Amino acid sequence: MLNQLNTRLNNPGLAALILRITLGVLFLAHAWLKIAVFTPAGTAQFFQSVGLPGFMAYVTIAIEVLGAIALIIGFQVRLVSLILIPLMLGTIIFSHGVNGFFFTNEGGGWEYPAFWAIALLVQALLGAGHAAATRD
């Protein structure tokens, strides 16, 4: 019985698809937060407050939106995943790193963006999986 379960669950193509869609939806949600709640101008002000040029907020929002769409439709998934990793590492360095490890800490610690970076690396290693616009 356990062997049958293991055989049925052995589906890396489906696993890659689920991870890809989840990452894409989460990136869209975070981009929407920057657009609709914080506003692009407010996000630019935050970027400046941590020592980054304000225009990088707009670049970040664009990368999040385009990266999310690419992940969701399965376009160049390995490359897109690798491009998004430095974005998450930047959030650790410039925003969440000073708040400690746990994301429940005030201001959010670095565990959540670190998990995202690792999930993106796993996605790059797995590839696009099922139902992708392009094959890696």
Structure tokens at 110: 């670095």
- Do the domain assignments include residue 131? no
- Do the domain assignments include residue 136? no
- Do the domain assignments include residue 42? yes
Number of structural domains the chain divides into: 1
Q: Provide the pLDDT for residue 136.
A: 76
- Do the domain assignments include residue 116? yes
Region for residue 120 given its phi and psi (left: phi exceeds 0; alpha: psi -120 to 50; beta: otherwise)? alpha
pLDDT in tens, 36-78: 999 999 999 999 999 999 999 999 999 999 999 999 999 999 9
Q: Provide the pLDDT for residue 6.
A: 83
Structure tokens at 55: 């225009």
CA distance to 28, 57, 102, per residue, from 15 (Å)? 20, 32, 27
Q: What is the C-alpha separation between 64 and 136, in angstroms, rounded?
A: 21
- Do the domain assignments include residue 68? yes
Q: Provide the pLDDT for residue 32.
A: 98
Residue 126 pLDDT grade (very low, low, confident, very high; cuts 50, 70, 90): very high
- Do the domain assignments include residue 23? yes
- Do the domain assignments include residue 39? yes
Long-range contacts of 46-50 (CB under 8 A, 24+ apart): 47/94, 50/94, 50/95
From the list 66, 79, 77, the residue with the least C-alpha distance to 128 is 77
Which range of residues forms the domain containing residue 33?
Answer: 13-126
- Do the domain assignments include residue 67? yes
Do residues 59 and 16 touch, judged by C-beta distance below 8 A? no
From the list 76, 42, 72, the residue with the least C-alpha distance to 60 is 42
